[in-house]
Amino acid sequence: MNKNLQNLNGVGPSKVFLPEGPYLTILDFLERRFPRGTRAGWENRMLAGRVFNQEGQSLRPDAPYLPRSIVYYYREVVENFVIPFQESIIYEDEYVLVADKPHYLPVTPVGPYIQETLLVRLRQRTGIDELSAVHRLDLETAGLVMFTKQASSRNVYAQLFRNRLVDKTYLAVASYSDEHAWPIEYKSRIENSQQFMKMQDFEGDENSITQIDIIERIRNYALYQLKPLTGKKHQLRVHMNALGIPILHDQIYPSMRAYLAPQNRNYDKPMQLLAKSLAFTDPITGQEHYFESHLKLQWPKIDLIDQS
């Protein structure tokens, strides 16, 4: 990547493709393409050297429009909130870094979250500019996330997840159910629903599999062990909800709660889902890896006993 397009305070540039269109300048296009911004705002960003062409050269407000090219730009950081939980690094070698992500912290920049993301925090903390996540966890899910430290090796490790060569174990707290003969292997077809953000089970060929068992029961709640054999979006949340035991404090399943901006969130009831462990054979070193989260879930009003 051109030096002008390196990460800025841990955040990489965004990019937009320029289609065919009736624009005289790139500024004309940016004003139309991003209506939430203003022409003056984009003009100031260009004058500050925060908009570039694909060769890494900064673009002035009068730069002519060139269809079928790419423009890179740095987003304006306007975060006025801090996620009040801290990540930790539990392993690091020449190629990978494994971190424990707290609840409510996104893995990568998205929506209003830019600086307050696991990736950006770790880039700033370690100084590793090429740090990149090779898989994702939902914002409200806590636990292990693996990163590569070199751009050249990212795809090698990402293939482990694509080819299902990583053994992943999650823990979840939900209502106890005696309607199933535990352990079970739940299979379904998960697709996008018509509701914003939600996924849904549909009829058709199965594309998602989760092995589910109960580890412990206290009163009307249970600690479940979840082993996803596939990686569909919201898979564990959808499957637990389909079984009639949605994960405790899930804000999407079974019903969508009102969305709150980060600065207005209540952080005292995180969804009780934890990415507990990762195990795989390192594709470069051949080393057998097993990592376990140091975080814990909570029973309602009762601290969860560490199951490790």
* pLDDT attached to residue 306: 47
Question: In the numeric block, which tokens belong to residue 208?
Answer: 């998602």
Nearest partner of 143 among 307, 304, 271, 293, judged by Cα: 293
pLDDT tens string 29-42: 998 888 777 888 88
Q: Across residues 115-137, what is the average pLDDT?
A: 91
* pLDDT attached to residue 3: 52
Terminal CA-to-CA distance of the chain, rounded, Å? 42
* pLDDT attached to residue 305: 46
Q: pLDDT above 90 covers what percent of the chain?
A: 66
pLDDT-derived band at 268 (thresholds 50, 70, 90) equals confident
* pLDDT attached to residue 300: 82
pLDDT-derived band at 224 (thresholds 50, 70, 90) equals very high
The answer to whether 247 and 273 have CB atoms below 8 angstroms apart is: yes
Cis bond upstream, residue 35 (ω within 30): no
User: In whole angstroms, what is the distance from residue 282 CA to residue 288 CA?
Assistant: 6
| Average pLDDT value for the chain | 89
Cα angle vertex 304, ends 308, 146, to 5°?
50
Q: Across residues 99-113, what is the average pLDDT?
A: 88
* pLDDT attached to residue 308: 40
The three-class DSSP label of residue 65 is coil
* pLDDT attached to residue 8: 66
- Structural domains present in the chain: 3-73 (3.10.290), 88-303 (3.30.2350.10)
**CA separation, residue 37 to residues 19, 75, 105 (Å):** 19, 11, 26
Residue 115, phi then psi, degrees to nearest 5: -70, -40
Q: Model pTM greater than 0.95?
A: no
pLDDT tens string 142-174: 999 999 999 899 999 999 999 999 999 999 999
